[in-house]
């Protein structure tokens, strides 16, 4: 097992985080040096920054096809997920004598949703966790059967972070509103933004969350979209000043917000051409892996997934050993938020994969800075590493 230097590294873990785009970095620097005023200050330096903050909100709203005042800045996608679920439950309780209501979500959500669901259950809210099929897709029939008179929220991610399967969120909204206009729909779009066009009006969702560091912006900045009529009913996440329409007090992180706005602008200007480039890298990688490494399989909904994710099972060996034997390729066992935990992937488990095969499964995720040369070199490294591991594995004999 070799040791890779930084020059050798091939970064195929873009679903965990992306490299910050150079143009994004440049857009941020000005607000760390020249334009450093507090956006809440009434002097010229503050007013200048406040005007730029409004422009940033407009750029992000354009990415989602929503109104600027429907954008609330958060510190991360996880914070935005927490805020969305907990606020809707609080709102329901305030109108129903403290009753907790009922939420529907899925067994394959990000931990920010699943663990928030556990918290809400412990505090009086019923939560239904829907299963998925072997491609990671939620059943609309099962969802419809789960709706109850006290259902207040359905939260289903737009694209899964481990296998990339795109969920039928538009149909979920249709089912929710058919039962009651009071049932709200939230989607975690962290893995979808930048990979496919996300129009909140076309989807019909009431709330949507995403984070900057998945789209070549910095870590530490996220967004919650909330429809205007609903936003007016929410209460502060953090008490203090009047920032973010009074919902999240604290001096705004202007450099990071401006970086996120620049990243949003780049996506809109590019018109998703980079997404097709990334698809080509991903498809070429999968084609070579399946053709040149025996006993491999691609997981997820092959025909309906985001362009960036390749979730591949290498039979007869453990994925953790592959990562150790192929140090040149940065990839992961699954979501970065569950890294280091002994439990098998909750996503692959929900898809009814064999537990042994789950242990041999790796997520590779591609981004706009990757190249075809990296794909070819990675395949060669993996061929060598997998062959050596299988030679030592009693399962492969």
Catalytic residues: 337
The two beta strands, 71-74 and 222-226, are antiparallel
Per-residue CA distances from 392 to 42, 313, 379 (Å): 69, 18, 20
Which candidate, 242, 170, 164, 245, places its Cα nearest to that of 200?
170
Cα separation, 187 vs 164, whole angstroms? 15
Other C-beta atoms closer than 10 Å to the C-beta of 84 total: 29
- CA neighbor of 186 nearest in space, from 89, 125, 105, 92: 105
> Per the structure block, which two tokens stand in for 206?
């009431």
Q: Are 64 and 199 in contact (CB under 8 A)?
A: yes
Q: Is 57 left (phi over 0), alpha (psi -120 to 50) or beta?
A: alpha
Nearest to 375 by CA among 286, 313, 277, 298: 286
Q: At what angle do helices 44-64 and 254-270 cross, to 10 degrees?
A: 40
Which helix (H) or strand (E) covers residue 73, if one does?
A: strand 71-74
- DSSP for 250-265 reads S---HHHHHHHHHHHH
């Amino acid at each position: 097992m070799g040791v890779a230097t930084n020059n050798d590294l091939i970064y195929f873990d873009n679903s965990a985080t992306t490299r910050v785009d150079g143009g994004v970095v440049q857009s941020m620097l000005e607000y760390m040096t020249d334009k450093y005023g507090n956006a809440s200050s009434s002097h010229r330096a503050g007013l200048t920054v406040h005007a730029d903050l409004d422009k940033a909100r407009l750029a992000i709203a354009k990415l989602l096809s929503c109104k600027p005042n429907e954008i609330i800045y958060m510190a991360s996608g996880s914070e935005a997920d927490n805020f969305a679920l907990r606020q809707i439950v609080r709102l329901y309780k305030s109108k129903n004598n403290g009753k907790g209501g009922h939420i529907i979500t899925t067994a394959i959500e990000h931990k920010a949703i699943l663990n928030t669901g556990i918290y809400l259950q412990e505090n009086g809210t019923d939560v239904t966790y829907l299963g998925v099929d072997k491609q990671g897709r939620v059943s609309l029939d099962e969802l419809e059967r789960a709706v109850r008179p006290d259902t207040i929220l359905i939260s289903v991610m737009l694209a899964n972070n481990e296998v990339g399967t795109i969920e039928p969120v538009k149909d979920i909204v249709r089912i929710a509103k058919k039962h009651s206009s009071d049932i709200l729909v939230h989607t975690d779009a962290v893995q979808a933004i930048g990979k496919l066009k996300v129009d909140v009006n076309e989807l019909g969702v009431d709330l949507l969350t995403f984070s900057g560091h998945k789209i070549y912006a910095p870590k530490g900045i996220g967004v919650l979209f909330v429809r205007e009529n609903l936003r007016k009913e929410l209460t502060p996440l953090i008490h203090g000043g009047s920032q973010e329409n009074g919902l999240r007090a604290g001096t705004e992180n202007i450099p990071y917000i401006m970086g996120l706005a620049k990243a949003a602008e780049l996506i809109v200007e590019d018109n998703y051409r980079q997404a097709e480039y990334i698809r080509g890298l991903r498809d070429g990688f999968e084609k070579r892996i399946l053709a040149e490494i025996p006993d491999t399989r691609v997981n997820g909904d092959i025909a309906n997934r985001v362009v960036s994710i390749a979730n591949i099972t290498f039979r007869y060996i453990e994925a953790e050993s592959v990562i150790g034997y192929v140090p040149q390729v940065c990839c992961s066992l699954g979501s970065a938020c569950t890294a280091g935990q002994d439990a098998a992937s909750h996503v692959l488990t929900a898809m009814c994969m064999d537990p042994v095969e789950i242990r041999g499964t790796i997520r590779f995720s591609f981004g706009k800075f990757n190249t075809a040369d990296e794909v070819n070199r990675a395949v060669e490294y993996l061929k060598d590493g997998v062959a050596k591991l299988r030679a030592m594995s009693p399962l492969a004999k």
